[in-house]
Amino acid sequence: MTPADAIRAFISDSFFVEEYTNEESFLRSGTIDSTGMLELISFVEEHFGVEIDDEELVPDNLDSVDNLVGFLARKGVSTTVA
């Protein structure tokens, strides 16, 4: 399972949202609210074994599936299927 697949599965299971694109902003589209973002951050840290520093809590890193996948790649998480 790719990081994008894992993120989409978490969003689907946690927020019951299926219809959105990987580049769509979670917050602007209403896919996830601010409390949901905290849940998403916790999931990312636990599932991918990364620590997200306070200065990394910005939309460019976290506000879409594509942004998260790019952020994880910069953190050294493989984006390919094992």
Digits of tens for pLDDT over the chain (82 positions)? 899 999 999 999 999 998 999 999 999 999 999 999 999 999 999 999 999 999 999 999 999 999 999 999 999 988 765 5
- Predicted pLDDT of residue 25: 96
Domain segments of the chain: what residues? Answer: 3-74
How far is Cα 12 from Cα 19, in angstroms, rounded to an integer? 9
- Predicted pLDDT of residue 32: 94
How far is Cα 82 from Cα 14, in angstroms, rounded to an integer? 25
- Predicted pLDDT of residue 18: 86
From the candidate CATH numbers 2.70.70.10, 1.10.357.10, 3.40.50.150, 1.10.1200.10, the one assigned to the domain spanning 3-74 = 1.10.1200.10
CA distances, 61 to each of 16, 82 (Å) = 22, 23
